[in-house]
Structure 1
Amino acid sequence: MSEQQDTACLDSLIEENRLALHQLQALLGRLTPSAYRHAFGPTGRQSLGKHVRHILDHYDALLAGAGVGSIDYENRQRDERLEAEPEAAVARVIEISAALPCLHAHHSLPLQVRYPVEGASASLVLSTSLARELAFMTSHTVHHMALLGFMAEQLGVALPDGFGVHPSTLRFWQKQAAEENSTRRETA
């Protein structure tokens, strides 16, 4: 891949992540602190705040690891303030979103990701790329946003169309709608 194609690829992946974070920020703006901390499930171990903190922890791991060539998603800060205070989470979302374009500075560094395997004495160390990890982050974030959407709906929080839907699915829906509109115009 040429340098120009590599830059365009990273730009697209960074933008997908920033769009997901923007949706997350919009959701956070709709939540009261009590809704953010509301305990779900039979054990009460799930909350909107815990999922948001988990998402942000992964971005922090990516941002910290990309510059040194080694990402470890298991070794996270787990800042409890981010799961208890929606304002703190909003501030961190804004910081992360602003920092993502800075990843371009590390695009040519060799990159590894640590991956723990049950029963192994040490984590696996896998070769990866910044583009691959940004693609993972989009999928990971959207997966947790789908869960956030389900929980938020249980609390009566209105969500925008497309919240918690992967960009590839949104593109597919748009393509389907365009084809349906085209077919309607042809038959009219």
Structure 2
Amino acid sequence: MNHQVTHSAIELCAQLNDLLTQISDDQFSASLPLFSGASIGQHTRHIVEFYQCLLQSVTNNKNVCYEDRERSMPLESERSYAIQVLEELQQGLTIVDEYPSFIKLEVKDFDDDLNNKDWVSDSTVAREMHYCNEHTVHHLAIIKVGLNHYFPDVKLKEIFGVAKSTYAYRKGK
């Protein structure tokens, strides 16, 4: 597997973890109108559970299905628990290269009448890890907008919520 994609996943989780150590419990769980009432905690849970789905699928040799997330309430409401889970996730990501590189992606889709239309596709663990990374950057960017609006005193690294390709472009690389 591509070790860089795993390194990027660990780095993104570390960015989120760094943020969570800087904000208060109230900031973590606050319902923010700019997020249509969602919280930083809910975005955190959403990010973490995508990686968890992938890791659980890889380690159990099952299809990955991002729709089958746990939706853990403690993960979105208890900042200290979220920090702990993020640290465990980073550890789990360090060994993902030891597993087979091919995986099946299962998608639970719906037609216009909300009838279930599941489908399965071949994929690779590296491709799915890249998907999780891009998904994470997207949610970190949303979190950054909320932080800048509601909690402007929180200091973020320049790369927080920015795709590496965009960051490299901005740096003239």
Same structural fold, with TM-score higher than 0.5 when normalized by the shorter chain = yes
CA distance in 2, matches of 1:127, 1:44: 35
CA distance in 1, matches of 2:103, 2:35: 38
CA distance in 2, matches of 1:42, 1:153: 11
Matched, 1:171 2:163: no
One-letter amino acid of the structure 2 residue matched with residue 35 of structure 1: Q
Q: TM-score, normalised by structure 2?
A: 0.90
Give the counterpart of 2:155 among 153, 158, 164: 158
Contact in 1 for aligned 2:54/2:64 (Cα 8 Å)? yes
One-letter amino acid of the structure 2 residue matched with residue 170 of structure 1: Y
Structure 1 or 2: larger helix share? 1
Structure 1 pair 61/31, CA: closer, same or farther in 2 (3 Å)? same
Matched, 1:134 2:149: no
CA distance in 2, matches of 1:42, 1:168: 27
SS in structure 2 opposite 1:111? strand
Contact in 2 for aligned 1:153/1:159 (Cα 8 Å)? no
Give the counterpart of 2:68 among 72, 75, 95: 75
Post-superposition CA distance 1:118-141 (Å, at most 9, x none):
125441111110110011011000
Partner of 1:182: none
Q: Aligned-pair distance for 1:42?
A: 7.1
Q: Aligned-pair distance for 1:69?
A: 3.5
Q: Aligned-pair distance for 1:44?
A: 5.2
Any stretches of 5+ residues in structure 1 without a counterpart? 1-5, 179-188
Partner of 2:104: 112
Q: Aligned-pair distance for 1:107?
A: 3.0
Contact in 1 for aligned 2:34/2:146 (Cα 8 Å)? no
Residue-pair matches, total: 167
Post-superposition CA distance 1:17-63 (Å, at most 9, x none):
11111110110011100011111127953110000000011111011
Q: TM-score, normalised by structure 1?
A: 0.83
Q: Percent identity?
A: 25
Partner of 1:29: 21
Contact in 2 for aligned 1:39/1:47 (Cα 8 Å)? yes
CA distance in 2, matches of 1:42, 1:24: 19
Any stretches of 5+ residues in structure 2 without a counterpart? none
SS in structure 2 opposite 1:72? coil
One-letter amino acid of the structure 2 residue matched with residue 86 of structure 1: R
Instruction: Quote the RMSD (CA, aligned, Å).
Output: 1.7
Contact in 1 for aligned 2:108/2:116 (Cα 8 Å)? no
SS in structure 2 opposite 1:127? strand
